[in-house]
Structure 1
Amino acid sequence: MKKLFILAAGLALVAAGCNGHKIVTDASGVFESDEVIVSAEQNGKILSFPIQEGDTLAKYAVIGQIDMSNTIIQKQQIQATIAALRQKTTNPKPQIELVKRQLIVQESQLEQQLREKTRTENLLKADAATQKQLDDINSAIDQLQKQIAVSKQQIALDDSNIETQNRTIYSEQAPLEMSAKQVQDNIDKGRIVNPLRGTVLTKYALQGEMTTTGKALYKIANLDTVTLRAYVTGSDLTKVKLGQTCKVYSDEGTDQYREYTGTVYFISDKSEFTPKTIQTRDERANLVYAVKIRVKNDGYLKLGMYGEVKF
């Protein structure tokens, strides 16, 4: 009897030791992440695309180039047309400057004639000049005043005409500049720009291949933080609330687990049948609620890996 008691006690201790490695959790699920499929924004041959699956890419990094030679030529043609338009414009300064110099000469002559008029009027009072001399000076003054008025009108008219002519030319330039901006936007879309920091999961295209707008190039996800999508029954749903911290476990081997701290950020408001990854008929028939838990990844968590959670 004593031997049987010792044997039973030993088996109990072994069982207790084995159960010590087990953890009691409230739900289980699979680790996942928000995956982004990056597509081409232009048609053409892929000139460079050096990324590999597993590479970590920075946000907004240029990681490839699509051939945009024809589009670049289109932009150069538009720029050449704009340059030709600018050569058609007229600079009003030389023509107006010439008239202004004539105006200065006319005003100088007018001042001289006004002085001569004053002198002749004084001589006429002293009977040293004739009325005809004074009349001739007055006629010259009147002529100069008319010439000055015409010169001023000519300056204003030339300035207005040239401005109108140039405005017509510049009105053709504005649409061309908008076209150049649109073409430049198409050229910029030939660069393959990574939209977020993350790890390349799948590469769908290779350098040298032809691509089209909307064709998938690669899939990327940020694995710094992953999501455990777990399912809880209605009876356990009362244990869960948004913003709640919880313990998350990943399987590290035989009866070994790696522990993480997670935060609940989503609780489904509708029940659903247990996912079909659960193969037994009874468990598939249970109604459960999806719960998403955000977990900081230390590099060991992989997408598709099973995890468990304790609230």
Structure 2
Amino acid sequence: MTSKHITISLLLLGSILSSCNDKDKEFDASGTFEATETIVSAEANGKILALNINEGDILKEGQQIGYIDSTQLHLSKLQLMKNQKSILSGRPDINVQLQSLEREKASAISDRKRIEILVKGDVASQKQLDDANTKIRVLQSKIDAMKSSLSTTTSTLNEQGGGVGIQLQQIEDQLHKCNITSPVNGTVLTKYSNTYEMAAIGKPLYKIADLSTIILRAYITGNQLSQVKINQKVNVSVDDGKGGFKTTTGTISWINDKAEFTPKTIQTKDERANMVYAIKVKVANDGTYKIGMYGEIKFQ
């Protein structure tokens, strides 16, 4: 090889090394993408009669995707409804119960008026009038006592019926929880249970995450900490598969106030610069970004 060829080769090698160094310096931080994952668990006991999801399905908040056998709960509800009806049907009709006494009182009042007229004409004695007044007072006392007794009975039965009503509300809540619905918008990441398997309260059914906004957890040094702040815009880049990068804008949503892998003794500025802090950057996801994918950050 001639000296000219050697010189050209060295220049090319130097150019490549310089390019590599520039690429390494192109970004301020790097990390991996993650998402807020939610593990949805069963809220009822019983056999899973339907669970219509597959990994990768996109679900809407409140969307029903299955249900757990609720036969026994339904039967319990019917029994409670009959019990409540039986209890409330035993409430007395106060007006009907008092009708006879009210008629007797009305007759006594009529008699008293007649006696008052006779007393004024000296045809009846004062004692007859006093007896008429006493009879009215006795009848009124009986009416008051019966009203009190019937009201107490009615109130007691209403309370018993209300207690059954609360039990019915509990059954309704349990029946509602037999319906398996998605608590959030998102993509099914993992399916843990299948149709016809037994479910128990707290047993995981599937894992879901909202991938419309994904998070890049990156790491910066202590020296870079002063360059970042919450809601700051940064450039986020990922490999485009063609030797280049796809870049978008993200927003810093969190900065850890504690360093990771902190040395036991921090004495010099250089040592402090080696401390690593985690930050989270929110990025709108058009489907490009996946959990676990590597990403790079450049401060704007």
Residues in 1 aligned to 2:22 and 2:31: alpha-carbon distance in whole angstroms: 23
Show CA shifts across 1:67-106 (max 9, x none). Answer: 1211222222222212111122211111212211222222
Answering whether residue 139 of structure 2 is matched by residue 151 of structure 1, we say: yes
Letter in 1 for 2:276: V
Answering whether residue 105 of structure 2 is matched by residue 117 of structure 1, we say: no
1:38 to 40, 48, 56: 40
Q: Is the 1:249–1:307 contact (alpha carbons within 8 Å) kept by the matching residues of 2? A: yes
1:27 to 26, 29, 34: 29
SS at match of 1:236: helix
Distance 1:30 1:13, change over 3 A: closer
Answering whether residue 215 of structure 2 is matched by residue 236 of structure 1, we say: no
**Normalising by the residue count of structure 2, what TM-score does the alignment of the two structures yield?**
0.82
1:65 to 61, 64, 67: 67
Tell me the residue number matched to 1:132.
none
2:194 to 187, 199, 206: 206
Residues in 2 aligned to 1:251 and 1:21: alpha-carbon distance in whole angstroms: 13
Shift of 1:299: 2.0
Distance 1:194 1:250, change over 3 A: same
Answering whether residue 170 of structure 2 is matched by residue 182 of structure 1, we say: yes
Show CA shifts across 1:232-285 (max 9, x none). Answer: 2334334323322110001111222111111112222333349xxxxxxxxxxx
Show CA shifts across 1:182-227 (max 9, x none). Answer: 2222222212232211111111112222111111111111111111
Paired residue total? 286
Tell me the residue number matched to 1:172.
160
Structural mapping, 1:2-151, within 5 Å? 24-120=26-122, 136-151=124-139
Q: Structure 1: give runs of 5+ residues left out of the alignment.
A: 122-135, 275-285
Structural mapping, 1:275-290, within 5 Å? 287-290=275-278
SS at match of 1:253: coil
Letter in 2 for 1:25: F
Distance 1:5 1:164, change over 3 A: closer
Residues in 2 aligned to 1:15 and 1:272: alpha-carbon distance in whole angstroms: 31
Distance 1:4 1:209, change over 3 A: closer
Q: Is the 1:60–1:194 contact (alpha carbons within 8 Å) kept by the matching residues of 2? A: yes
SS at match of 1:31: strand
Q: Structure 2: give runs of 5+ residues left out of the alignment.
A: 263-273
Tell me the residue number matched to 1:254.
242
Tell me the residue number matched to 1:130.
none
Residues in 1 aligned to 2:127 and 2:221: alpha-carbon distance in whole angstroms: 114
- Which structure would you say has the larger Rg? 1
Residues in 2 aligned to 1:65 and 1:255: alpha-carbon distance in whole angstroms: 48
Shift of 1:33: 0.6
Residues in 2 aligned to 1:240 and 1:303: alpha-carbon distance in whole angstroms: 24
Identity %: 37
Residues in 2 aligned to 1:236 and 1:157: alpha-carbon distance in whole angstroms: 86
Tell me the residue number matched to 1:126.
none
Residues in 1 aligned to 2:211 and 2:33: alpha-carbon distance in whole angstroms: 10
Tell me the residue number matched to 1:299.
287
Q: Is the 1:35–1:220 contact (alpha carbons within 8 Å) kept by the matching residues of 2? A: yes
